[in-house]
Amino acid sequence: MTDAAPEPVVLETVAALRAWRAARRAAGHRVGLVPTMGALHAGHLSLVTGLAPETEAVVVSIFVNPTQFAPHEDFTKYPRTFDRDLELLREVGAAAVFAPTVAEMYPDGFATSITLDGPARVGLEDAFRPTHFAGVATVVAKLLLQCLPERAIFGEKDYQQLAVIRRMARDLDIPVTILGGPTIREADGLAMSSRNVYLSPSERETAPVLHQVLQAAAAAVRTGTSIALAEGAALRELSDHGFLVDYVAIRDAASLAVPAPDARPETLRVLVAARLGQTRLIDNIAVVG
């Protein structure tokens, strides 16, 4: 019975998180961390349940991180649904929620940021949101060091972000195993996202085309179409449906670099970012699999 689960404990300070974490360690529990910005949906919840086999206690952070939004982006109107989030997390058995204030995460005089290269500089999200990954990496590094979980999990939905965080954790010797979770989709293929609530009814009808175009591009490459032609066809198809495309690119799945023209399809990922009206959507799939 789902409603028998206890409410997750809500932690609002780093000190409270550390005390909770110490108690879990004393109890012999492995801790898993799921960083989120709240407005939770089934994609987020799948990350919580994905950690269950490998951890005894999962903490979900809910923090709308101002430093990963550019001034023109949606920080102030980003959906905030804390009470509902807490209820959903109770249903999936999360042990704790870490919900710090901006002042708790960025106290007066805060002056540190992580500088990134490698998968953070490949001309995808970084080309269109140049300050985004520094904000993400800095806040994720803070969360990992505040919590020191055995495992932390991130969605493949944000594929470049996952690559950036894996690289950062390895490069900074943060003692955590980073896991990736598969993208959870609506029945019509649209990747779940907290931002989907911004779509108007007609945009929502068009939005699944994004996933269809990824699938068509992947199928084309699998059957021998060149990467350049597959990318070009995808761009045209999206534009014809009214998307303003930031990029649609077929890249090496591990490095996100531009692949050699004869790269094996198994090594490739197709990634897209496009705007429908005011809403920016991203998605990606493996070319094979």
Q: Which lies closer to ligand AMP via its Cβ, residue 184 or residue 245?
A: 184
Q: What is the DSSP letter of 259?
A: P
Tell me, yes or no, if 44 is annotated catalytic.
yes
Write down the least CB distance from residue 182 to ligand AMP, Å: 7
Catalytic member of 41, 44, 132, 211: 44
Residue 12 CB contacts under 8 Å (≥ 6 apart), including other chains: 98, 99, 100, 101, 104
Binding of ligand AMP at residue 43 (CB under 6 A)? yes
Q: What is the DSSP letter of 194?
A: G
Task: Report the C-alpha gap between 148 and 141 in whole angstroms.
Answer: 10
Binding of ligand AMP at residue 193 (CB under 6 A)? yes
Number of Cβ within 10 Å of residue 193's Cβ equals 23
Write down the least CB distance from residue 163 to ligand AMP, Å: 12
Binding of ligand AMP at residue 203 (CB under 6 A)? no
Task: Report the C-alpha gap between 191 and 207 in whole angstroms.
Answer: 9
Return the residue of 178, 192, 249, 273 that touches ligand AMP, per CB under 6 A: 192
Q: What is the DSSP letter of 186?
A: -
Q: Which lies closer to ligand AMP via its Cβ, residue 181 or residue 259?
A: 181
Binding of ligand AMP at residue 279 (CB under 6 A)? no
Binding of ligand AMP at residue 46 (CB under 6 A)? yes
Write down the least CB distance from residue 42 to ligand AMP, Å: 7
Q: Which tokens go with 69?
A: 């939004």
Number of Cβ within 10 Å of residue 109's Cβ equals 5
Write down the least CB distance from residue 36 to ligand AMP, Å: 4
Q: What is the DSSP letter of 243?
A: -
Phi, psi of 41 (to 5 degrees): -140, -175
Residues that bind ligand AMP (CB under 6 A): 36-37, 43-44, 46-47, 154-155, 157-158, 181, 183-184, 191-194
Residues belonging to the active site: 44
